[in-house]
């Protein structure tokens, strides 16, 4: 059965993910040096508490998923369209890497276009025009009216 296979895989990743996060916190705590007079109420108590809860929750989800109990981890729908996640990812990564070199107007337009593509828009020309107009307008409002700085990039001499 395909559906239950996908379900147990997701449960496996979520369960192990929570336990892995606990391990990261534990690793970070191990290198911390707490002054002895703070030992009973120092900065390590809440992290240790989080580790305990994360491991317990991780094991709980592994167990629930493996045995098909009601609290198992499964997507709430069988139909998934990964185009959206990819489109938004591409757009945000473009914003991370291109914002400062290219400037806000172009990188934000790329983000807008990528998100619209991810939502399966079938009108690329319309999207591109709106993308450029919206990011230009946003740039002008934020830098001229609200005095917040956004990188101008390669359009520095034009806008």
Partner 1 sequence: MDALDNLMAGFATALTLTNLMWSLLGVTLGTLIGILPGIGPALTIALLLPVTAKLDATGAFIMFAGLYYGAMYGSSTTSILLNTPGESGSIITALEGNKMARQGRGAAALATAAIGSFIAGTIGTVLLTFLAPVFVKLALRFGPAEYFALMVFAFTAASALLGSSMVRGIASLILGLVIGLVGIDVLTGQTRLYFGIPALLDGIDIVVVAVGLFAVGEAMYIASRPELRDSEISAVKGSLWMTREEWRRSWKPWLRGTALGFPFGVLPAGGTEIPTFLSYFLEKKLSKKPEEFGKGAIEGVAGPEAANNAAVAGVLVPLLTLGLPTSATAAILLVAFQQYGLQPGPLLFSGSSTLVWGLIASLYIGNVMLLVLNLPLVGLWVRLLKIPAPLLYGGILVFSTVGVYSLNRSTVDLVLLYILGLLGFVMRRYDFPIAPCVIGLILGPIAEQQFRRALQISQGDWSVFVTHPISVFFLVLAILVFATPFILRALANRMAANAERSEAS
Provide, rounded to whole angstroms, the least separation between the CB of residue 140 and partner 1.
12
Output the smallest distance, CB 122 to partner 1, in A: 9
Q: At its nearest, how many Å lie between partner 1 and the CB of residue 4? A: 15
Among the listed residues 85, 78, 83, the one whose alpha carbon sits nearest the alpha carbon of residue 120: 83
Beta carbon nearer to partner 1, 2 or 52: 52
Residue whose CB is less far from partner 1, 2 or 82: 82
Distance of alpha carbon 62 from alpha carbon 69, whole angstroms? 10
33 or 157: CB nearest partner 1: 33
């Amino acid at each position: 059965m395909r559906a239950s296979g996908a379900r147990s895989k997701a449960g496996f990743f979520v369960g192990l993910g929570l336990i892995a996060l606990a391990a990261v916190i534990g690793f970070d705590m191990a290198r911390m040096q707490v002054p002895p007079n703070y030992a009973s109420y120092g900065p390590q108590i809440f992290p240790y508490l989080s580790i305990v809860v994360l491991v317990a929750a991780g094991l709980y989800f592994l167990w629930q998923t493996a045995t098909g109990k009601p609290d198992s981890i499964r997507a709430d729908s069988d139909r998934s369209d990964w185009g959206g996640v990819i489109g938004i990812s591409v757009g945000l990564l473009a914003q991370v890497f291109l914002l400062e070199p290219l400037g806000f107007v172009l990188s934000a337009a790329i983000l807008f276009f990528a998100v619209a593509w991810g939502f399966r828009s079938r009108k690329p020309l319309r999207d591109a025009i709106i993308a450029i107009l919206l990011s230009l307008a946003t740039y002008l409002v934020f830098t001229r009216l609200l005095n917040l700085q956004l990188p101008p990039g390669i359009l520095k001499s034009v806008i």
